[in-house]
Amino acid sequence: MVKFLLGILFWVFQTLLGGFFCQFPVTALLAAGFMGRRAHYRFGLLWHKLYAKENPAASIPALPQPGWLLASQFRMKIQADWQKNHWRFPFFLAWRLIEGAWKNLQTGLAQIFACFFLIAWATLLMQLGWKFGWHNSFNKGFEDYLFGVLLSLAGILAFLIMAPLVLLGQVHQSVQGRFASAFDIGFLRRLLNQRPVAKITLALVFLSAFFPIAILNSAPRFFELANPAWAELTDQEFQKKVQPYFYIYGLVLFLAVSWVRNHAVKLYAKSLWVMVKKGDLDEKNRSLLAEQGFSIPLLKVELIAPKSLVAIAQSVIVKTTKGTLWSIAIFSPLLWLAAIFLVYFKEFINYHPETGFLNHPFLLLPWIGPSPF
Amino acid sequence: MKTQPSLGNWSRRKFLAASSAGLGLAWTPILKAQEIPPPAKAGYQGPKVFLIRFGGGVRRKETISYPDKTFCPFLLHEMAGNHGTFLPNVSIASSPDIITSHGQGTLQILTGRYDKYQDISNKFLGERFVPPAPTLFEYFRKNFQVESHESLLINGEDRLQEEFFSFSETPGYGVDYRCQVLSLYRFKLWLAQRDLDLAKGNTHQENAAKKLAELKEKNYRDPEGKLPGTQALNSFWESWHKEYGNTGFINPRGDRLITELAIQAMNKLHPKLVMINYNDPDYVHWGPPAFYTRAISIIDDCVKRLWQSTQANEEYRNQTVFAVIPDCGRDDNRACSIPFQHHFGGKSSREIFAILSGPGIPKGARIDKPYDQIDLAPTLGKLMGFPLSLVQGKTIPGVIS
């Protein structure tokens, strides 16, 4: 019971800290890294549970939980450091106290850079389309309006295609501990196609999590309308009044991003399991998983080359019902389109400079965006 | 018992009643022949007025609050500072029924009243309003012998609904006293009619008729296009067409377009009362702050050009009153990175200003006393010499010397 309560308290502390970190771009980087390392940990838990189902004799190893600041398995590590060298222990201790933060920063940078290259070209097209379209309206060059519209449509299409891959790419990068893993688009697409219905659930979770964020992002626009007396406050008094709102916004954002990431980890783990059982896992990814300590079940011994996209599509079509296929083909893009609509909605209500389109908090930096503070 | 005196079978009462009726019937043609006609309206001899709507929504911060950082230096330093009277403390009344927006602000300026406005068919977010009281144009034309093309409303490309504020449906006023409207939409209407006339009897006639009908439908006050045009306007559009062709892409765009329309109207239509609906600052709705500040600078430049054109035109030189007033302010939302993107009715969106310059208006004066947006209409009426009977606003005394 005590352990349970302590666990709850620890979770609350981590969440509050995460919410605070989501308020500023630099600390949001640490939050991104922390969530990446936590994805590795959660994958490990899930994978070993799945493995243990098929192999009851196998034991689930104790996996190191990531921390915000301290090194994971802190006590164990400083005990080992003390044994190693008493004289240098103060330096080891100093390092262990910030090792977690350093690893979060490393992981965060790797994630942001990788995901930026994956998705920024789509969001840049959306940003340019928006800016050009209304620049065009302002200067009334209506004969050129199609350019802005087409840019936006191209960006939206690119976003539709890349967003689920980026979500899985973040997990893939975290699990394998390699920067380049995020760019393994072929593998990620095969993974996504293992369980077609999962595409809908991923889109649904993304949309559901983003909805309150879009509301919280837009709401400050209406503060003065709801509280006319606030117009008389000085800047400092005003800041004191609204600061709690942004704390809560950061907290909700952290929880929302965590929920989406956790769902992506579950999808990744289950789809990978299906892939392994079908024998679709290639040698390269198999060995990378093994390097990280994730056992692969011995159910399928032969290692086969990755199937072509056409072959996978055919096997999916054969095994999936027509109704499900139609749902996936229509429903999933609609859900993603709804999520994109929310981006345009929140930018119209509460425009941010270029970060409004370029940074999606679920795909890049988990940051509430430019605030007046 | 007394009995009524009688004439045969008629009583005296009956006789008197019949006689009166008969006399009345006999007298009517004589009266009609001598019917007193309504007094002839005098020609207008007063100052020309350019009423400039500094739209779509500008804050005091970017215009008048910081003279060394203003984006409209001509208006603030030259027109207000040297040539006219500056009223920095004009505002829109605070009330749940008074919305700070462009259509409502324009009608408040034109009618001198605060009214609650609703789309004519209650469409969500619709802004097709009908002026609930006479506009300045109607008061003007009712009191003076002024042709319709001598009172003009010049509207921009985007807020089409605001060019249908040319008349109200108030008894005694209304469509007979309406102003004419100059806009790209009206040019397109003229062009479509011309195309239909040229296409009569050939294969393009049906398409041309369809295009004209589609354009006419946009006019929610006159969807069938029954209100007649004028020869003066036809000639105006003819010369515009000669100069700029028919694509609509060669003429200036945005607020520069309506400035060009105003200047050409001065030379060809000789209007006496003109309202110019500038609007481009409203594009900050889409985010980039530069759209807003640049639009303010462009309006400043346009007003400077207008003023210089009036000084270069003998008919208008030193005889033109400029009245500049925003339709509404903008928000000052400190919780947002772009605080002035919208105008949701907060304090800042109700804070505006006014600048008046011209004959009869004190030069270099400043009136800090608070006034309402609706006070401009009766003030202009007083300057021009006609009463506004249905206004709520009051005349600004310090403006009329």
DSSP string, A170-212: HHHHHHHT-GGGGG-HHHHHHHHHHSTHHHHHHHHHHHHHHHH
Task: Please write down the HEC assignment for all residues of chain B.
Answer: CCCCCEECCEEHHHHHHHHHHHHHHHHHHHHHHCCCCCCCCEECCCCEEEEEEECCCCCHHHHCCCCCCCCCHHHHHHHHHHHEEEEEEEECCCCCCCCCCHHHHHHHHHHCCCCCCCCCCCCCCCCCCCCCCCCHHHHHHHHEECCHHHEEEECCCCCHHHHHCCCCCCCCCHHHHCCEEECHHHHHHHHHHHHHHHHCCCCCHHHHHHHHHHHHHCCCCCCCCCCCCCHHHHHHHHHHHHHHCCCCCCCCCCHHHHHHHHHHHHHHCCCCEEEEEECHHHHHHHCCHHHHHHHHHHHHHHHHHHHHHHHHCCCCCCCEEEEEECCCCCCCCCCCCCCCCCCCCCHHHHEEEEEEECCCCCCCEECCCCEEHHHHHHHHHHHHCCCCCCCCCCCCHHHCC
- Average pLDDT value for residue range A286-301: 62
Confidence class of residue A303 from pLDDT cuts 50, 70 and 90? very low
Q: Which residues of B51-81 are buried (b: 16+ CB within 10 A; e: fewer)?
A: bbbbbbbbbbbbbbeeeeebbbbbbbebbbb
Provide the shortest C-alpha distance from residue B274 to chain A (in Å): 24
Instruction: Check CB contact under 8 Å for A225 and B344.
Output: yes
- Average pLDDT value for residue range A69-82: 83
Residue B96 lies in a domain: yes
- How far apart, in whole angstroms, are the C-alpha atoms of residue B110 and residue B256? 22
Q: Are B193 and B187 in contact (CB under 8 A)?
A: no
Contacts of B239 (CB under 8 A, 6+ apart): B264, B268
Nearest neighbour of A224 by CB, restricted to B158, B291, B346:
B346
Collapsed DSSP state (helix, strand, coil) of residue A152:
helix
The tokens of B373 are what?
């947006």
| Residue B280 pLDDT > 60 | yes
- Average pLDDT value for residue range B323-350: 89
Adjacent-strand bridge partners of B180 = B152
The pLDDT, as a whole number, for residue A93 is 86
Q: Are B135 and B110 in contact (CB under 8 A)?
A: yes
| Residue B7 pLDDT > 50 | no
The pLDDT, as a whole number, for residue A52 is 79
Residue B194 lies in a domain: no
Report pLDDT digits (tens) over B175-191: 999 999 999 999 999 99
pTM, two decimals, is: 0.81
Q: Are A185 and A165 in contact (CB under 8 A)?
A: yes
Report pLDDT digits (tens) over B239-252: 999 999 988 778 89
Q: What is the dihedral of CA A182, A185, A190, A193, to 10 degrees?
A: 90
Lowest mean pLDDT among A52-61, A363-372, B340-349: A52-61
The pLDDT, as a whole number, for residue A277 is 82
- How far apart, in whole angstroms, are the C-alpha atoms of residue A151 and residue A128? 7
Angle at B111 between CA B124 and CA B305, to 5 degrees: 95
Lowest mean pLDDT among B32-41, B76-85, B196-205: B32-41
Report pLDDT digits (tens) over A1-27: 888 888 898 889 989 999 999 999 999
CA–chain centroid gap for A213, Å, is 14
- Average pLDDT value for residue range A222-244: 86
Count of C-beta atoms within a 10 Å radius of residue A157 = 14
The pLDDT, as a whole number, for residue A351 is 75
The pLDDT, as a whole number, for residue B225 is 81
Instruction: Please classify residue B248 by burial: count the beta carbons closer than 10 Å to its beta carbon, then call 0-12 exposed, 13-18 middle and 19+ buried.
Output: middle
- How far apart, in whole angstroms, are the C-alpha atoms of residue A256 and residue A347? 19
Residue B116 lies in a domain: yes
- How far apart, in whole angstroms, are the C-alpha atoms of residue A64 and residue A43? 12
Angle at A108 between CA A103 and CA A109, to 5 degrees: 105
Count of domains observed in chain B: 1
Residue A80 lies in a domain: no
Q: Which amino acid is at A3?
A: K
The pLDDT, as a whole number, for residue A85 is 83
Confidence class of residue A329 from pLDDT cuts 50, 70 and 90? confident
pLDDT averaged over every residue in chain B = 88
- Average pLDDT value for residue range A44-63: 77
The pLDDT, as a whole number, for residue B291 is 85
Collapsed DSSP state (helix, strand, coil) of residue A32:
helix
- How far apart, in whole angstroms, are the C-alpha atoms of residue A294 and residue A65? 16
> What residues of chain B lie within 8 A of the CB of A348, using their CB?
285-287
Domain extent for A242? 2-73+107-358
The tokens of B147 are what?
């042709």
Residue B374 lies in a domain: yes
Count of domains observed in chain A: 1
Which of A132, A136, A217, A224 to probe by mutation at the B interface, max B CB count within 10 Å? A224
- How far apart, in whole angstroms, are the C-alpha atoms of residue B67 and residue A207? 48
Nearest neighbour of A143 by CB, restricted to B249, B332, B341:
B249
Q: Which residues of A touch B (CB under 8 A)?
A: 130-131, 133-135, 137-143, 220-225, 228, 231-232, 235, 238-239, 242, 245, 347-353, 356, 369-372
Q: Are A217 and A368 in contact (CB under 8 A)?
A: yes
From the list B348, B287, B346, the residue with the least C-alpha distance to A223 is B346
Confidence class of residue B296 from pLDDT cuts 50, 70 and 90? very high
| Residue B375 pLDDT > 90 | yes
Report pLDDT digits (tens) over B43-91: 899 999 999 999 889 999 999 999 999 999 999 999 999 999 999 999 9
Which of A134, A136, A137, A138 to probe by mutation at the B interface, max B CB count within 10 Å? A138
Count of C-beta atoms within a 10 Å radius of residue B232 = 16
The pLDDT, as a whole number, for residue A305 is 44
Q: Which of A332-346, B13-27, B354-368 has the highest mean pLDDT?
A: B354-368
Q: Are B80 and B360 in contact (CB under 8 A)?
A: no
Residue A352 lies in a domain: yes
Confidence class of residue A311 from pLDDT cuts 50, 70 and 90? low
The pLDDT, as a whole number, for residue A320 is 53
**Interface predicted TM-score (ipTM):** 0.73
Lowest mean pLDDT among A127-141, B210-224, B257-271: A127-141
Lowest mean pLDDT among A21-25, A161-165, A229-233, B9-13: B9-13
Instruction: Check CB contact under 8 Å for A138 and B249.
Output: no
Q: Are B71 and B295 in contact (CB under 8 A)?
A: no
Residue B12 lies in a domain: no
Report pLDDT digits (tens) over B119-178: 888 877 788 899 999 999 999 999 999 999 999 999 988 788 888 999 999 999 999 999
Does B25 lie at the interface with A, CB-CB under 8 angstroms? Answer: no
Residue A224 lies in a domain: yes
Q: Are A185 and A168 in contact (CB under 8 A)?
A: no
| Residue A314 pLDDT > 50 | yes
| Closest residue of chain A to B348, computed from CA coordinates | A231
- Average pLDDT value for residue range A276-302: 67
User: What are residue A22's phi and psi, to 5 degrees?
Assistant: -75, -5
* More confident call, B258 vs A134: B258
- How far apart, in whole angstroms, are the C-alpha atoms of residue B72 and residue B325? 13
Does B96 lie at the interface with A, CB-CB under 8 angstroms? Answer: no
Nearest neighbour of B338 by CB, restricted to A224, A232, A351:
A351
Instruction: Check CB contact under 8 Å for B334 and A238.
Output: yes
Residue A163 lies in a domain: yes
The pLDDT, as a whole number, for residue A291 is 72
CA–chain centroid gap for B57, Å, is 17
Total CB pairs under 8 A between chain A and B: 99
The tokens of A254 are what?
């952290």
Residue B209 lies in a domain: no
Residue A236 lies in a domain: yes
Residue B216 lies in a domain: no
| Residue A86 pLDDT > 70 | yes
Does B257 lie at the interface with A, CB-CB under 8 angstroms? Answer: yes
The pLDDT, as a whole number, for residue B339 is 87
Instruction: Check CB contact under 8 Å for B337 and A372.
Output: yes
What CATH number corresponds to the domain at position B265?
A: 3.40.720.10
- For chain A, give the percent of residues with pLDDT over 90: 36
Domain extent for B280? 48-183+231-399
Confidence class of residue A316 from pLDDT cuts 50, 70 and 90? low
- For chain A, give the percent of residues with pLDDT over 70: 86
- How far apart, in whole angstroms, are the C-alpha atoms of residue B91 and residue B352? 5
- How far apart, in whole angstroms, are the C-alpha atoms of residue B318 and residue B300? 20
The pLDDT, as a whole number, for residue A64 is 80
